[in-house]
Amino acid sequence: MNKTLSALVMAAAMPATALAADYPSKNLDMIVPSSPGGAADTLMRAIQPGLESSLGRTIVVRNMGAGGGALALTRTATAKPDGYTLTLANNQNFTLEGLGNVGFKYQDFDYLARITEEPYLLVSNKNDQWQDAEALVADLKKSGKPLQVGTSGVGSSTYVVASTLGSQLGIPVQVVPFDGGSPAISALMGGHVDAVVVNPSEVLSQIRGDRLQAVLSTGSERSELLPDVKTMKEQGYDLAVSQWRGIATPAGVSDEVETAWVEAVKKAIEAPEFKRFAESTGVEVKPLFGDELDTYVSDMADVMIPASRKVAENNAQ
């Protein structure tokens, strides 16, 4: 009898989240900070069935690409940290803060899982003049024209990377923001911009189909998918940064929520359908969780936030 009473007293003292062993008990909102059809949206749609199967609930995907993802991430950061509002996190969590476009800090999120990691590519239409960074710079200095580079919205990481490439390469770059990666790629193929900054999974089929070419990569090493594309580092430039995509929530969710999502992601990336998606698009699945993910997020913030602040300062001049 005393043991029973003691257990009841202990239970009464526990927070409600610790007692709720039925998470999730309702549908979940996944806010994607990009327009439909972009890389983030495509990844979410591909992994969604596996996540829903593991979690036992419907995930309602909401695309909010406005402001380079500012609306989506602000909506997530200010939501109740109960595990029912999530976002597909990426470098926008850092670039928007560095550009000064939002009121949140990257620490206002709990990062539950990294799903993929890819380098950025500078991609152009096929030509004989821009085979690598050296050839690109030489041709542009000869012509005296700025390089028009299409990117996702102003707050996106591709916008920051494109601006950073200009200062690294020592050439004038005119960054042209679009409402997502897909419109930027369409503009390139239509001849409306000179190049785009995107991730390999967004343009792999066009590159393999010999319709587009990758001029350079920002990865720390060459991509296995595009082994002929030189990195910035090996071409003598001090830039190595990658895009990543994962699951984040408003800061303060329970351990139960984190555990549920870690297990869901682990199962979803092993689903045959998702594996076929990864193989066909070339998306590089590199899961990361827990303390290792926290360290990774902190390291990426240390790179992307200062780079974004520098872009903001240059734009203000």
Examine the fold and report which residue of 185, 203, 235 is the final residue of a domain before the chain moves on.
235
Whole-angstrom distance, CA of residue 294 vs CA of residue 297: 5
Inter-residue contact 29 to 85 (CB < 8 Å)? yes
- Residue 4 forms part of a structural domain: no
Whole-angstrom distance, CA of residue 199 vs CA of residue 184: 12
Co-location of 203 and 287 in the same domain: no
pLDDT (tens, 9 = 90+) of the chain, 317 residues, equals 444 444 444 444 544 444 446 899 999 999 999 888 888 999 999 999 999 999 999 999 999 987 788 999 999 999 999 999 999 999 999 999 999 989 999 999 999 999 999 999 999 999 878 989 999 999 999 999 999 999 987 878 999 999 999 999 999 999 999 988 889 999 999 999 999 999 998 999 999 999 999 999 999 999 888 999 999 999 999 889 999 999 999 999 999 999 999 999 999 999 999 999 999 888 999 999 999 999 999 999 999 999 999 999 988 87
- Residue 12 forms part of a structural domain: no
Whole-angstrom distance, CA of residue 65 vs CA of residue 71: 7
Co-location of 148 and 66 in the same domain: no
Q: Please report, for residues 37, 88, 174, the alpha-carbon distance to residue 44 in angstroms, rounded to integers and kept in the order given.
A: 10, 8, 31
Co-location of 255 and 302 in the same domain: yes
Co-location of 199 and 292 in the same domain: no
Co-location of 135 and 223 in the same domain: yes
Co-location of 138 and 176 in the same domain: yes
Examine the fold and report which residue of 235, 260, 288 is the final residue of a domain before the chain moves on.
235
Provide the number of structural domains found in the chain: 2
Q: 185: exposed, middle or buried (C-beta count within 10 Å: 0-12, 13-18, 19+)?
A: buried
**CATH number of the domain that residue 48 is part of:** 3.40.190.150
Co-location of 287 and 218 in the same domain: no
Whole-angstrom distance, CA of residue 14 vs CA of residue 151: 48
Co-location of 69 and 96 in the same domain: yes
Co-location of 230 and 180 in the same domain: yes
Query: What is the span of the domain harbouring residue 43?
Result: 28-118+242-316
**CATH number of the domain that residue 137 is part of:** 3.40.190.10
- Residue 23 forms part of a structural domain: no
CA atoms within 13 A on the CB side of 209: 9
In SS3 terms, the chain reads as CHHHHHHHHHHHHCCHHHHCCCCCCCCEEEEECCCCCCHHHHHHHHHHHHHHHHHCCCEEEEECCHHHHHHHHHHHHCCCCCCCEEEEECCHHHHHHHHCCCCCCHHHEEEEEEEEEEECEEEEECCCCCCCHHHHHHHHHHHCCCEEEEECCCCCHHHHHHHHHHHHHCCCEEEEECCCHHHHHHHHHCCCCCEEEECHHHHHHHHHCCCEEEEEECCCCCCCCCCCCCECHHHCCCCCCEEEEEEEEECCCCHHHHHHHHHHHHHHCCCHHHHHHHHHHCCCEEEECHHHHHHHHHHHHHHHHHHHHHHHHHHHC
Co-location of 108 and 176 in the same domain: no
pLDDT for the residue 270: 97
- Residue 19 forms part of a structural domain: no
- Residue 15 forms part of a structural domain: no
Examine the fold and report which residue of 194, 210, 235 is the final residue of a domain before the chain moves on.
235
Co-location of 161 and 224 in the same domain: yes
Greatest pairwise CA separation for the chain in angstroms = 89
Whole-angstrom distance, CA of residue 228 vs CA of residue 205: 15
pLDDT for the residue 164: 93
Co-location of 95 and 70 in the same domain: yes
